[in-house]
């Protein structure tokens, strides 16, 4: 074991240096590293099926496999000292940007991909890319995607209801606790109806809304409703 305290200046500086180096490494590889899982007893990564479906559609339509089109970091001379080198990652091409916007949306991913292809036949490629990137942003709230599978949604609801409970547990003032819960809900596009909040405030029953925000089943229902609404809106647009 290491002898110095985890809170010593030496250890703090060491941790900061490690974390910075790791963050820089992640930035350099984020264009080619894709979320994946591993088969039981195997060290070989398996990409989500929607990634492969979307990549296949892009390859068939444009003759470009986006998996292999992602820009790779390479060493270049530093601008302030040509004797030293630094890593540089080129900008993503339009096909990689479109692939990145579509690939993670599970069953909706092929729909977005085909919509992109249809747009490229009517408008400029970059304009079509911006359209699917905008759709990706609308379907994503913080770390949650409205296109998640129901299993993923349930796991997320469980985690977030527990998160709200931890945040409000130490707050004695009901109004302050409700404000914290309301802010967390807003991060994911969720909210109580204004007239309901007004009525609960009038009746001094805000605690009942806090209880909903800490309830896993309430989160599930709210996320399902919000997800269905946003997917319908994006599909229509």
Average pLDDT over the chain, rounded to an integer? 84
Q: What's the mean pLDDT in 42-68?
A: 80
Contacts of 89 (CB under 8 A, 6+ apart): 27, 28, 31, 71, 72, 73, 74
79 pLDDT band, cuts 50/70/90, is confident
pLDDT at 78: 79
DSSP secondary structure code for residue 93 in this structure:
P
pLDDT tens-place string over residues 83-111: 788 888 888 999 999 999 999 999 999 99
Instruction: Find, among 114, 94, 96, the residue nearest to 53 by Cα.
Output: 114
Say which residue, 199 or 45, is predicted with more confidence.
199
| Helix locations, the chain, DSSP H | 9-29, 49-62, 66-69, 94-102, 109-120, 125-138, 150-169, 174-187, 194-202, 206-213, 216-236
**pTM over the 0.75 mark:** no
3-state secondary structure of 140: strand
Pairing of strands 74-77, 45-46: unpaired
pLDDT at 33: 35
pLDDT at 89: 80
For residue 38, count other CB atoms closer than 10 A to its CB: 10
pLDDT at 201: 96
Give the range among 63-77, 132-146, 199-213 with minimum mean pLDDT. Answer: 63-77
| Helix locations, 8-108, DSSP H | 9-29, 49-62, 66-69, 94-102
pLDDT at 47: 59
Q: What's the mean pLDDT in 174-187?
A: 98
């Amino acid at each position: 074991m290491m002898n110095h305290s985890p809170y010593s200046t030496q250890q703090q500086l060491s941790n900061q240096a490690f974390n910075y180096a790791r963050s820089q490494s992640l930035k350099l590889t984020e264009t080619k590293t894709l979320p994946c899982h591993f088969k039981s007893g195997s060290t070989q990564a398996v990409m989500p099926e929607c990634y492969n479906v979307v990549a296949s559609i892009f390859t068939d339509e444009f003759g470009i496999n986006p998996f292999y089109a992602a820009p790779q970091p390479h060493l270049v001379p530093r601008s302030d000292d040509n004797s030293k080198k630094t890593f540089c990652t080129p900008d993503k091409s339009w096909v990689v940007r479109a692939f990145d916007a579509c690939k993670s949306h599970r069953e909706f991913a092929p729909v977005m991909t085909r919509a992109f292809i249809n747009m490229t036949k009517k408008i400029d490629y970059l304009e079509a890319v911006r359209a699917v990137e905008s759709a990706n942003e609308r379907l994503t709230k913080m770390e949650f995607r409205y296109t998640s599978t129901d299993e993923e949604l349930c796991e997320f609801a469980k985690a977030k209801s527990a998160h709200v409970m931890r945040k409000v547990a130490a707050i004695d003032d009901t109004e302050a606790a409700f404000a914290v819960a309301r802010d967390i809900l807003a991060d994911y596009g969720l909210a109580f109806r204004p007239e309901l909040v007004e009525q609960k405030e009038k009746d001094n029953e805000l605690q009942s809304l806090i209880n909903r925000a800490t309830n896993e089943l309430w989160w599930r229902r709210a996320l399902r409703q919000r997800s269905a609404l946003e997917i319908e809106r994006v599909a229509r647009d």
